[in-house]
Structure 1
């Protein structure tokens, strides 16, 4: 299990948090995901054999949020 932290653009509302968490929870290979509203960060534990950081980033960007950086 690998861990990933993504820095997002500034999140503006709690609804943003729920949208991102819902999409990540439905993604195969994601064990856990936590969106931190105040710091605009997403912490993800995932199975690297099932999903890549690039795919996770794309899912968030498809919702309309910019991923500014990623750190494993």
Structure 2
């Protein structure tokens, strides 16, 4: 499993958490996706043979949340 942390701008509403988590968790290859509301981070574990970090970043952006940085490990 590959892990990635996406740094977003500060989130303003708790419903943003569910919107992002639901979209990422429904993506093939994503094992888990969690939003850390206070820090504006999204942590995801995924199978890189099925989905790439860049695709997850694009999905977050398509929901209307700018991604400031991505760290993959």
TM range (shorter): over 0.9
Q: What is the count of residue pairs matched by the alignment?
A: 72
Q: Which residue of 2 aligns with 1:29?
A: 29
In the superposition, the TM-score normalised over structure 2's length comes to 0.97
Provide, for residues 21-49 of structure 1, a one-character-per-residue CA deviation record: whole Å limited to 9, x for no partner. 00001000000011000000000000000
Please, what is the CA RMSD of the aligned residues? 0.4
Structure 1: runs of 5 or more not aligned: none
Q: Which residue of 2 aligns with 1:2?
A: 2
**Which whole-Å CA distance do the structure 1 matches of 2:38 and 2:10 have between them?**
9
Structure 2: runs of 5 or more not aligned: none
**Which whole-Å CA distance do the structure 2 matches of 1:6 and 1:56 have between them?**
9
Q: Secondary structure, in 3 states, of the residue corresponding to 1:59?
A: helix
Q: Which residue of 2 aligns with 1:41?
A: 41
Q: Which residue of 1 aligns with 2:11?
A: 11
**Which whole-Å CA distance do the structure 1 matches of 2:36 and 2:25 have between them?**
15
Moved over 4 A (4+): none
**Which whole-Å CA distance do the structure 2 matches of 1:60 and 1:15 have between them?**
14
